[in-house]
């Protein structure tokens, strides 16, 4: 299907059995980044409908005081499913879809760095969504909130399997998100076109490149937390149950260490969209490109250190309260810099008030409100008063809907012509925009005042106190305006795909590379690339008499490392975050000794022996790499076989240690020490096992001669990086679990 597809041609492709089967398989098995992007967005649309219906039922329940339209448990289930669906199955997939489509085009690449990994990342989304919603049929949906606070999420308080499905679904979605981030980073670093230096990257690409690093650091922390709650629920662990010595506060620390960066994982792509649209519709280059780019890095770094402001009411103590208050205030600075840059870009520009620009203007105003209400939560005293009220609900939705959703609508209106070859209806687009503005502000502005009047959040009904009733009715009424806007948007997308005005290659007279190819682009994206000497190559092409200043050296040379190396190193970075969370959890509990078996039960000398085997395997693998480089097949096979043997000895040694502990009555459910010990060493052992499987595959390939003449050398070295990482992790585990108790 392309931009010139007619209804008759579409019918023929869908109704003819042979063509329909080919069409379906072509999409279901695709590894083309453009088709995967569209699948991301279509999947997000399906779950948007589901999440929207859940929101509608929530607001109907809250429309009047003392309402019993929904039962309390049903309300809690809808509340949990709505939050989880909208964040993980709507906002993230639609943003990932836009990035998937646009980013390779903007840097002059033919595809993402790892097309199959790209497809894998997408298919994690429907799988995770199905797992989450299957819980409704398997004993009831989770009713613990999208944050799933312990101990409410533990088995004694939530015995239905809904929480288990929730945790497994998010684990799957987390893996998919990490694979997307790895692909994004590798694509930007390794696949840029000639002349596309890092300093010439469009801001959309740059900001999403930075955002991928937040995903790499934040999502593994969530996955570690999910692994721990599943171990508690399925294997009788003790991480978060106070009765077993666990800590519900630890769940909050780890969850919000992911949860607040997650806000920026959703917000930064919205910033990227706005940074792309505003200059085009202001007919000016972005004001202060370097400041917008640098502030994105600052936001990424600071976002990893502000989670504690979600926990001021927990009682962390003055030092932590002060630290997180300061860090939460600091992050407002780079965010404010962006608002200044966007506003300054518009000043003096020849602004075209088309739908994409209208969405950006609404974004600016509503995001400013979100920022002003958000910074109040950096003040501990103010946060104590409003944290658990509807004031926070309003603030969050001003970010999630007022900023992010409006940016997405603007982005769809802006890039739909490139994806389909046809324009969206401007008239229907403005209907969508104004209904959304009215409905959104009607729903959420009033909630600030509800919160200040004392209405708590997370309640299924409320008493008939002064003003609460009419305010909630007004808030519920706004949902119907937003629903109408959503329906018009979907209708606009569907009808414009078939009957929209032909767009041409560059309908907006924009300046970045995606507009240098056809609409929609061919399979390989470009027939030829224009010269790239500045940040606006199409402006230079159209205005040779007054091109932009050359950025950097006037050269088409671009340093592009091997994408396999970049990919595996990025993956290792994510795995480091996963193990860091597990090690910190172990140390957190180690500082609070519990009765029962402890580190004294471990056989340290025996462990040191098989640890030496694992460390030696790094040396033997290095020797096999040297032999492969020099094309010494026999030597390479010998060293690689020895590496596999040493890794196997380590696993056998770890297995015998487990068996000895089991024989003495110590298993994962015995006490807090055994829970943390078996979890940490068990996940490391799993990684060793996966590494051994990869090594055995390469051993077989080498035996068959498939690595001759340098074939597969890059992939082999990538496995080597992973194997060395596994050894390094064991150094930290050995020091933490075995050596530290000896010197205490």
Domain map (residue ranges) of the chain: 31-542, 563-743
Torsion angle defined by CA atoms of residues 84, 90, 92 and 97, in that order, rounded to the nearest 10 degrees:
160
In this predicted structure, what is the pLDDT of residue 558?
74
Q: Which fold has domain 31-542?
A: Cytochrome C Oxidase; Chain A (1.20.210)
In this predicted structure, what is the pLDDT of residue 20?
63
Cis status, amide bond into 569, omega within 30 of 0: no
**Can you tell me the distance from the alpha carbon of 595 to that of 589, in angstroms, rounded to the nearest whole number?**
12
Taking CA atoms, 542 is separated from 348, 530, 535, 545, 547, in Å, by 22, 11, 14, 9, 9
Alpha helix stretches (DSSP H) within 527-603: 537-542, 563-590
**Can you tell me the distance from the alpha carbon of 538 to that of 509, in angstroms, rounded to the nearest whole number?**
9
In this predicted structure, what is the pLDDT of residue 492?
97
Residue 179: φ, ψ to 5°: -65, -35
State the 10-residue block means of pLDDT for the chain, 744 residues long. Answer: 49 62 78 96 97 97 96 96 97 98 96 96 97 94 94 94 97 98 97 94 98 98 97 95 92 96 97 98 96 97 94 91 94 95 96 97 97 92 92 96 97 96 96 98 97 95 96 97 97 94 95 95 93 94 91 78 94 97 94 84 93 97 93 92 97 95 93 95 97 95 81 89 97 95 82
In this predicted structure, what is the pLDDT of residue 8?
54
| DSSP character at residue 154 | S
Q: Under a CB-based contact definition with an 8 Å cutoff, are residues 471 and 450 in contact?
A: yes
In this predicted structure, what is the pLDDT of residue 707?
80
Q: Under a CB-based contact definition with an 8 Å cutoff, are residues 31 and 115 in contact?
A: yes
The pair of structure tokens assigned to 69 is 């339209």
**Can you tell me the distance from the alpha carbon of 365 to that of 351, in angstroms, rounded to the nearest whole number?**
17
In this predicted structure, what is the pLDDT of residue 286?
96
The domain covering 563-743 belongs, at the CATH homologous superfamily level, to Cytochrome c oxidase, subunit III, four-helix bundle (1.20.120.80)
In this predicted structure, what is the pLDDT of residue 26?
82
Q: 376-384: long-range contacts at Cβ-Cβ below 8 A with a sequence spacing of 24 or more?
A: 377/309, 377/328, 378/309, 378/325, 378/328, 378/329, 378/332, 379/325, 380/312, 380/321, 380/325, 383/309, 383/312, 383/313, 384/312, 384/313
Cis status, amide bond into 386, omega within 30 of 0: no
Return the closest-CA partner of residue 209 out of 107, 328, 337: 107
In this predicted structure, what is the pLDDT of residue 588?
92
* Whole-prediction pTM: 0.95
């Amino acid at each position: 299907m392309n931009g010139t597809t007619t209804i008759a041609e579409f019918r023929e492709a869908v109704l003819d059995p042979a063509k329909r089967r080919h069409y379906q398989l072509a999409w279901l098995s695709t590894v083309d980044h453009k088709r995967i992007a569209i699948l991301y967005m279509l999947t997000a649309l399906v779950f948007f409908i589901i999440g929207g219906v859940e929101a509608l039922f929530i607001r109907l329940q809250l429309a009047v005081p003392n309402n019993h339209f929904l039962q309390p448990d049903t309300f809690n289930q809808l509340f949990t499913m709505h939050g989880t669906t909208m964040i993980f199955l709507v906002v993230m997939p639609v943003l990932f879809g836009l990035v998937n489509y646009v980013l390779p085009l903007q840097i002059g690449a033919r595809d993402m760095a790892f097309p199959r990994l790209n497809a894998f990342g997408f298919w994690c989304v429907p799988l995770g969504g199905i797992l989450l919603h299957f819980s409704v049929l398997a004993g009831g949906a989770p009713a613990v909130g999208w944050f799933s606070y312990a101990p409410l999420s533990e088995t004694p308080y939530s015995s239905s399997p809904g929480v288990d499905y929730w945790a497994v679904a998010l684990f799957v979605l987390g893996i998919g998100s990490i694979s997307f981030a790895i692909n994004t980073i590798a694509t930007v670093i390794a696949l840029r076109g000639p002349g596309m230096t890092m300093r010439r990257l469009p801001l959309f690409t740059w900001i999403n490149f930075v955002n991928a690093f937040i995903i790499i650091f934040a999502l593994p922390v969530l996955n570690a937390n999910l692994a721990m709650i599943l171990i508690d629920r399925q294997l009788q662990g003790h991480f978060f149950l106070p009765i077993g010595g666990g800590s519900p506060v630890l769940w909050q620390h780890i969850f919000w260490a992911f949860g607040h960066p997650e806000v920026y994982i959703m917000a930064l792509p919205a910033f990227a969209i706005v940074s792309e649209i505003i200059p085009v519709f202001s007919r000016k280059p972005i004001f202060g490109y370097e400041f917008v780019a640098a502030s994105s890095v600052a936001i990424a770094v600071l976002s990893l250190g502000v989670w504690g402001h979600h926990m001021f009411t927990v009682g962390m103590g003055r030092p932590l309260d002060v630290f997180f208050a300061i860090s939460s205030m600091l992050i407002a600075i780079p965010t404010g810099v962006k608002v200044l840059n966007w506003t300054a870009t518009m000043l003096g520009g020849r602004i075209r008030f088309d739908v994409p620009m209208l969405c950006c203007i609404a974004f600016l105003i509503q995001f400013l409100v979100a920022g002003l209400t958000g910074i109040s939560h950096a003040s501990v005293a103010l946060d104590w008063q409003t944290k658990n009220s509807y004031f926070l609900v309003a603030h969050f939705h001003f970010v999630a809907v007022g900023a992010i959703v409006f940016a997405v609508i603007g982005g769809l209106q802006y890039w739909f012509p490139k994806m389909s070859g046809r324009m969206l209806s401007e008239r229907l687009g403005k209907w969508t925009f104004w209904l959304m503005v009215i409905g959104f502000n009607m729903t959420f502005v009033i909630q600030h005042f509800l919160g200040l009047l004392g209405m708590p959040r997370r309640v299924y009904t409320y008493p008939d106190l002064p003003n609460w009733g009419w305010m909630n009715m007004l808030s519920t009424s706004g949902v119907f305006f937003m629903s109408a806007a959503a329906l018009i948007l979907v209708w606009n997308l569907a009808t414009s795909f078939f009957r929209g005005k032909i767009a041409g290659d560059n309908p907006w007279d924009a300046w970045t590379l995606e507009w240098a190819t056809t609409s929609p682009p061919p399979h390989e994206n470009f027939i030829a690339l224009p010269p790239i000497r500045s940040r606006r190559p199409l402006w230079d092409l159209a205005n040779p008499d007054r091109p932009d200043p050359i950025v950097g050296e006037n050269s088409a040379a671009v340093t592009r490392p091997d994408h396999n190396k970049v990919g595996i190193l990025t993956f290792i970075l994510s795995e480091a975050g996963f193990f860091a969370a597990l090690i910190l959890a172990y140390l957190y509990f180690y500082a609070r000794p519990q009765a029962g078996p402890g580190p004294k039960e471990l056989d340290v000398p025996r462990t040191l022996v098989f640890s030496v085997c694992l460390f030696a395997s790094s040396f033997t693998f290095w020797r096999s790499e040297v032999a492969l480089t020099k094309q010494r097949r026999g030597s390479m096979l010998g060293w690689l076989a020895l590496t596999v043997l040493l890794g196997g000895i380590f696993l056998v040694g770890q297995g015998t240690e487990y068996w000895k502990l089991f024989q003495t009555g110590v298993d994962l459910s015995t006490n807090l020490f055994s829970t943390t010990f078996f979890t940490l060493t068990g996940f490391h052992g799993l990684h060793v096992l996966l590494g051994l499987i990869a090594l055995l595959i390469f051993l077989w390939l080498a035996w068959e001669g498939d690595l001759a003449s340098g074939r597969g050398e890059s992939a082999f070295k990538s496995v080597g990086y992973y194997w060395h990482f596994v050894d390094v992790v064991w150094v930290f585990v050995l020091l933490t679990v075995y050596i530290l108790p000896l010197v205490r």
